[in-house]
Amino acid sequence: MLHQNLEWFFPHKVEEAVKLIEQQGVILHGGGTRILKTSPKSIKGLVDVGRLNLNYIHHADNHFSIGSASTYADIIRYSLKTNKLLILAKALSEAASTPLRNRITIGGSLKDFPIWSSLYAPLLALNAQIEIAEKHEKILSLEEYLDSGMIKTKHLIKRIIVDDIPNIIGGVKRFSLIRFEYPLFTIAVVLQVKQKTVSEARIFITGVKGRHKRCKRAEHFLIDKELNDETIQQAEKHFAPKFVSDYKYSAEYKEHTAKVFFTDLLHELKGTLK
């Protein structure tokens, strides 16, 4: 149950929202899907982001700018219309359900970072940047945002920036036994390939011990190699994410499944090469 005398705020300016959340017990409200589920008793006020003009997706100067009030559904619709942001849209279209995708915002999702996040693995693989509202513009990579521990502090996320890089191929795989269950892990692979040879690789998995992991050994192995069956078979040996056992699955089972999914994903990417 949320606090009975809960106060709602609907600011029109980012600066006002930032000031409001300086108060104890006052937090931002994006889609509300996490807040309503957990209903923390400490919440005294909610600052809605809906009137801050942060619901947009722009494409200019070879990058996409995605406002933090955009929902999963907004990104999927944009991708269908423009044939852009395909890796991200694929991941988000598999998340939760239609009514939830209509509500879940990019800002709320980034700040929340549930272990079943569909957003983090593709954004990290795409080397996304995040803008935080501060006195001076503060843009940092999503990896820095996580590694610096900033995610644990109170702040307002303004937008996500994703470079529009030509000639990249990529994909995402999530593991859940039933489609509508929370995924146990999500793997995202983004490769730059020139004449069938991998020149850049970014591979991330979420849902692992420590929540997220960059799979650097697998990235290094793939670089300068031709993406063929033999390379893919060898790459699996360099992909060893660590999991925590839970009441349903052992850590070993999850690691084995992740390896199978990783190999399948590389085969799918190989299939897209001309």
Ligand X SMILES: Cc1cc2nc3c(=O)[nH]c(=O)nc-3n(C[C@H](O)[C@H](O)[C@H](O)COP(=O)(O)OP(=O)(O)OC[C@H]3O[C@@H](n4cnc5c(N)ncnc54)[C@H](O)[C@@H]3O)c2cc1C
8 A C-beta contact, residue 78 and residue 57: yes
List of residues 6+ apart from 156 with CB closer than 8 A: 14, 17, 18, 21, 28, 49, 68, 107, 132, 133
Applying CB under 6 A, among 10, 77, 114, 238 the residue interacting with ligand X is 114
60 vs 178 by CB, closer to ligand X:
178
Q: Which stretch binds ligand X (CB under 6 A): 108-116, 204-212, 239-247, 263-271?
A: 108-116
Chain positions 151 to 180 lying near ligand X, rule: CB under 6 A, are 156-157
Shortest distance (Å) from residue 200 CB to ligand X: 26
Residue 96 touches ligand X, criterion: CB under 6 A: yes
Phi and psi, residue 102, nearest 5°: -70, -15
Q: Provide the phi-psi class of 207: left if phi over 0, else alpha when psi is between -120 and 50, else beta.
A: left
Taking CB under 6 A as the binding criterion, the range among 31-39, 140-148, 187-195, 209-217 that sits at the site for ligand X is 31-39
Nearer to ligand X, 30 or 171 (CB): 30
Among candidates 197, 156, 174, which has minimal Cα distance to 114?
Answer: 174
Nearer to ligand X, 56 or 200 (CB): 56
Out of 74, 85, 89, 109, point to the residue binding ligand X (CB under 6 A): 109
Residue 103 or residue 259: which is nearer to ligand X going by CB? 103
To ligand X, the closest distance from the beta carbon of 63 in angstroms equals 20
User: Do 3 and 45 meet the contact criterion of CB atoms below 8 Å apart?
Assistant: no
User: How many residues in the shown chain lie near ligand X by CB under 6 A?
Assistant: 32
Return the number of the residue (124 or 232) whose C-beta is nearest ligand X: 124
Residue nearest to ligand X (CB): 108
Question: Smallest distance from the beta carbon of 90 to ligand X, in angstroms?
Answer: 13
Among 18, 76, 95, 126, binds ligand X (CB under 6 A): 95
Which window, 30-38, 78-86, 220-228, 243-251, contacts ligand X (CB under 6 A)?
30-38
20 makes contact with ligand X (CB under 6 A): no
CB atoms within 10 A of CB 116: 17
CA torsion sign, 93 to 260 to 121 to 172?
negative
| Residue 51 or 238 with smaller CB distance to ligand X | 51
90 sits near ligand X (criterion: CB under 6 A): no
Q: Which is nearer to ligand X, 37 or 274 (CB)?
A: 37
Q: Which spans of this chain sit near ligand X (rule: CB under 6 A)?
A: 27-35, 37, 49, 68, 95-96, 100, 103-105, 107-109, 111-112, 114, 116-119, 156-157, 182-183
